[in-house]
Amino acid sequence: MLYDRMTEAEKENLYNLRSYIISLERNASAREVADNRAFLHVWEMEKKRLAIMFKDSLILSMPYEMGLNPREIGDNIFASQEMDIFCQEIKNNKNIDNNTKFNLTMLSADTEALGTNVCQRSFNFSLPSGGKFTVRDKSKWAKMMKKLSTFYNLNTFDPVRERQAIEMSAEKVKGTLYLSINPIDFLTASYNQHHWTSCIDIRDGGHREGVVEMMNSPNVICAYFVADDAPIVEENGYSFSNKKWREFFIIDEKGIFGIKGYNYWDRVIEKDCLRWISGLVEDYQIFPGYIFQVEPQMFKPYNLNIGFKCGPAMYNDFYSTEYQGCFEINHLENFDIDYSGIPVCMNCGRELEEEDELNCSENLLCDCCEEHYYCSGCGKILKEDKYELNGDYYCGDCYDYVLMYICETCGDRDVVDNCTTIYITDTDGTIMMSFEACEHCYNFFTRHRTEPGTTDICYTELDIEQLQKLLNNIAFAPTDRKIIRDYYDKLKASRTEVC
C-alpha cells in the first residue's frame, strides 16, 4: 500500500496538517478528524501507476542549482541603498516637474525591468531643452535611465547601474529539486516563505479544492525546488517544504507536459524536470510500448488541436501561450487529456457531490462532515449566507424579510402576518407613501420594501393631515393609538385590493 511508504513522522504531519485545514472551515464539525487512510483511499488507488517510478518511496530528489528569477533580482535592486539615494535625488530635484518625477519613479520602481534590464512599458518625457524623449517598450532599461539622468542632471544613477550588474551576475541558488506524489506536497503546493501564493492555496485559494484533484489524479506529479538555506518550515503544528518554485507535470501515454510554474515560469528548470521525468517513464516502462521524445519541445495546444481538460475545482492553466512537453512519437497532435482526479472531503475522503465541487473555493468538506445551521425562516441548510438575529439564524432573503417587517413600537416579529399595508394616494390615485398598520398595537410604521405585492391593500379616503400628524409623531401617545385604531377599523372596512 502506498500509505505504508510514508514514515510515521510524515503520517503524523499529514494528520496535523489536515486537522489545521479542517479547523479553518466555517462549518467544520467539532467531531474528531478522520484517519489519514480514509482521506487517502482514492489517492492510493489512482497513483499506483506513477508510484512505480518512485520505487519504495513517494519522493525523488537530486541536487540542483537554480538561478534567481528576474523579479527577485529586481526586488533586490529596488530595495538597495543605491536605488534609495537615486529616488531621493529625483524627489528633491526642484528643476523637474511633478509629471516627470512620476514617470522617472515609475520607471525606477519596475522590478521586472530592473531584473531583466528590459523596459516593460513606454514613457514620454518633456526635456528641459524643450524637446521630447520616448522610452519605448522593450528598450534597454539601464541605457534609457542613463540618458534620462544626463538630460535631467541626475548624478546618482551610476551606483544603481553597478548594483544591477552585481545582482544580475549573482551565483545560482543551491538546493534540491524534488519530484513527488506525497499527499503532503500536494496539499502544501503553495506553502512557502518566499512571498508567493496561487489560486490553489488550500487555505484560502479561489480554486483550493483543485489541489485535492491534482493529488488524486492518476497522471499528475508535483515538482518543486527548495533552497539549502531554508528547507523546512514549521507552523501550526505541522511542517512543510519551503518551496521556492513549484510546478505540476502531466504524465500520460500521449506525452509528458508541464502545466505552469509558480511563482514564475522558469523554462530552464521546467525543461530539466521534463528530461528527468521522461527518463524515469522509459526506465520503468510506465507505458510499455510507448516511446517518448527525449528532448522537450515548445508547442501551442491550440495549433496542434490538443485539449487539456480538468474538473471545475481546478483552475485550467492551459491557454493560448506556449508550453513544453515530451510527446509520445505517435501522438503529436489531435488529442485530449483530462488531468483532474476525484475531489474528496478533506476529512472523511468521501467523494464530493457535483454541487460541492462547483463551489471549489468554499467546500473542502462533504455535507456529512459539516456542522449545519438551518434558516429559521425557510428551513434550508445555511452555508455562506448565514445571519444571526436574536439567537436565530437566517438565510440572506429571510433575514432581509424579517428585518423589514418588525413593528418598531411593540416589536412584533410576526407582523408580516399580522398587519395591513396602507397606501396614501393623491386624488388622481397616485401613491404618495406607504406604511404598515400593526394589528397588535394599532401602530403605523413605514415599509422599507418598494414593490407592493399583489395582495396588498390600498386605502384612498383618509384624513391625510391627521394621519401625517401621527406619522410625524415618533412617540405615539395612547390617545393617538386610539385614533389610529379607529382609523384602522374604518379603513379596514373600506379596503380595496391593489392589482
Percent of the chain clearing pLDDT 90 (strictly above): 48
pLDDT at position 449:
35
* More confidently predicted of 314 and 465: 314
Q: Reduced to 3 states, what is the DSSP secondary structure of residue 109?
A: helix
What's the rounded Cα separation, in Å, for the pair 311 and 343?
9
Nearest CA-CA partner of 398 in 375, 364, 417? 375
**DSSP, res 475:** S
DSSP assignment letter at 374? E
User: Which of the residue ranges 148-157, 324-333, 387-396, 481-490 would you say has the lowest mean pLDDT?
Assistant: 481-490
> Which one-letter DSSP state was computed for residue 297?
E
pLDDT of residue 456: 40
More confident residue, 8 or 442: 8
pLDDT of residue 445: 52
Phi and psi torsions of 156, nearest 5° = -115, 20
Q: How high is the pLDDT of residue 31?
A: 62
pLDDT > 80? residue 459: no
More confident residue, 175 or 72: 175
Give residue-wise pLDDT tens across range 96-125. 999 999 999 999 999 889 988 999 899 999
- Distance separating alpha carbons of residues 163 and 79, to the nearest angstrom: 11
Q: Half-sphere exposure of residue 144, counting CA atoms within 13 Å on the CB side?
A: 24
Concatenate the DSSP letters of all residues of 252-277 into one string: ETTEEEEEEEESS--HHHHHHHHHHH
The region that residue 236 occupies, defined by phi over 0 for left and psi between -120 and 50 for alpha, beta otherwise, is left
Could you give the dihedral angle defined by the CA atoms of residues 247, 250, 255 and 257, in that order, rounded to the nearest 10 degrees?
-20
Dist. CA 392–CA 190, nearest whole Å: 38
Cα dihedral 85/87/93/99 (nearest 10): 180
Give yes or no for a contact between 339 and 25, defined as CB atoms under 8 angstroms apart: no
- Name which of 65-74, 372-381, 474-483 the model is least confident about: 474-483
CB 249 within 8 A of CB 195: no
Question: What does the pLDDT average to over 338-363?
Answer: 76
Question: What CA dihedral angle connects 90, 94, 100 and 101, to 10 degrees?
Answer: 40
Task: Give residue 238's pLDDT.
Answer: 92
* Mean pLDDT score of the chain: 81
By the 8 A CB rule, do 437 and 471 touch? no
Maximum distance among all Cα pairs of the chain, rounded to whole angstroms: 97
Name the nearest CA neighbour of 364 among 213, 245, 175, 490.
213
481: pLDDT strictly greater than 50 = no
Structure confidence at residue 60 as a pLDDT band (50, 70, 90): very high
**How many C-beta atoms surround the C-beta of residue 234 within 10 A?**
9
State pLDDT tens for residues 124-150.
999 988 889 999 988 999 999 999 999
More confident residue, 436 or 322: 322
pLDDT at 441: 56
Q: What is the pLDDT of residues 181-200, one digit of tens each?
A: 999 999 999 999 888 888 88
Map residue 350 onto helix, strand or coil. coil
Q: What is the DSSP string of 117-186?
A: TB--S-EEEE-TTS-EEEE-TTSBHHHHHHHHHHHTT--SHHHHHHHHHHHHTPPPEEEEEEEE--HHHH
| Per-residue pLDDT at 455 | 37
pTM for this one? Answer: 0.65
Residues 6+ apart with CB under 8 A from 131: none
Looking at per-residue pLDDT, the higher value among 171 and 212 belongs to 212
Q: What is the mean pLDDT of residues 11-38?
A: 83
Over residues 370-419, the pLDDT tens digits come to 766 777 777 777 766 677 777 777 787 777 666 555 555 565 554 445 55
Cα dist from 238 to 13, 140, 154, whole Å? 5, 46, 52
Q: Measuring CA to CA, which residue among 265, 219, 216 is closest to residue 69?
A: 265
pLDDT at 428 over 50: yes
Can you read off the three cell numbers belonging to residue 105? 519613479
Q: Is the dihedral of CA 182, 184, 187, 189 positive or negative?
A: negative
Per-residue pLDDT tens for 240-257? 999 999 999 999 999 999
User: Could you tell me which residues are beta bridge partners of residue 308?
Assistant: 337
Give the helix ranges, DSSP H, for 230-334. 267-283
Q: Check pLDDT > 50 for residue 448.
A: no
Domain boundary assignment for the chain: 2-67+173-338, 70-168, 416-497
Mean pLDDT of 268-274: 94
Give per-residue pLDDT as tens, 308-323: 998 877 888 887 678 9
pLDDT of residue 401: 63
